[in-house]
Structure 1
Amino acid sequence: MTFDEYVDNIDEKWRESFIRTWNVISEHLPEGFDVYIHHGMPGFVVPKDRYPEGYHVDNEPLPFIGVASQKRHLAVYHMGMYRDPELYDWFAGEYPRHMSTKLNMGKSCIRFTNPGKVPYDLLGQLAEKTSVDEWIELYESRKQ
């Protein structure tokens, strides 16, 4: 599946918020990440030529951020927050300053159940916080 095919299959209710979320993350992400379809959703990965070991689970490129339109929500999967408690705490602390809705988040998955209530500025700030090299270093440090 290509990115365009993925977008074409998004429910109309979520399409605009998905595209806007994708664009904000893409515009703010440090250089070096590639777009890749991983586990059926588009996302940003560390390319294999930059990190040949890839992701330990499936030997694919190392995933960093995924964006998915689900039936009942829009999801942003940020592996850096899963690995970096300080980044997780920063996001959780900043969220109420941007949104009046309750944060719906797991270890790496941020879920938005209302397409009109997505903190795009905050997602852009989050995307800027980790470079490719920092993500590789963090991933390597937690593998041991």
Structure 2
Amino acid sequence: MQSTAPNPLEYLIEVPTERRTAFERLRNTLLENLPDGFEERMAGGMINYVVPHAIFPAGYHCNPKDPLPFIGLASQKNFIAVYHMGIYANPELLEWFTSEYPKHVKTKLDMGKSCIRFKKPENIPFELLAELARKMTPQDWIEVYEEQLNKSRK
């Protein structure tokens, strides 16, 4: 479900009423806990948290005109999704998250490579996601990103 909203506030208006409060809380959790340097913007029809060109001039390798993506936040048809590129690229971070998750939520973790899905807003572990957001600075993410990119080019 890609949105054409031009900014995060208009995106929030599109979020279904039954999940809007949780979605707003999740957005605020990320805004309050992401280290300095990440910027919030719209991309790919969702809210994104990126490393701007001012910090990483090379931009995203798929399209260098785009800033380096880090976290995406979306209201999909049947769930709220958090797309965390750090989890996808850093096995230690993934291991930490998957081992911590059951300590915060009784339901099974529903996750793809970088996508964490929440079908029920009441099952969102806000404190855990706050901690996850604090785990990588923009510089940490750039280092992991460049390491993974270099591996894929060999």
TM over 0.5: yes
- Share of identical aligned residues, percent? 48
Q: Deviations over 1:105-142 (max 9, x none)?
A: 01110000001110000000000000010000110111
- Displacement, 1:72? 0.6
Separation (CA, whole Å) in 1 of partners of 2:101 and 2:54:
35
Which one of the candidate residues 121, 133, 138 is aligned to 1:132?
A: 138
What 5-or-longer segments of structure 2 have no aligned partner? 1-5
Letter in 1 for 2:137: S
- Displacement, 1:102? 0.4
Structure 1 stretches of 4+ with a deviation exceeding 2 A read none
- Displacement, 1:58? 2.1
Separation (CA, whole Å) in 2 of partners of 1:140 and 1:113:
33
Separation (CA, whole Å) in 1 of partners of 2:77 and 2:45:
14
- Number of aligned positions between the proteins: 144
Corresponding residue of 1:28: 33
Q: Deviations over 1:29-72 (max 9, x none)?
A: 11000111110101110001111111111220000011101111
Which one of the candidate residues 80, 83, 88 is aligned to 1:74?
A: 80
Letter in 2 for 1:54: G
Task: Kindly report the root-mean-square deviation, in angstroms, between the aligned alpha carbons of the 2 structures.
Answer: 0.7
TM, length-normalised to structure 2: 0.91
What 5-or-longer segments of structure 1 have no aligned partner? none
Relative contact order (C-alpha < 8 Å, sep 6+): which is higher? 1
Letter in 1 for 2:95: D
Corresponding residue of 2:56: 51
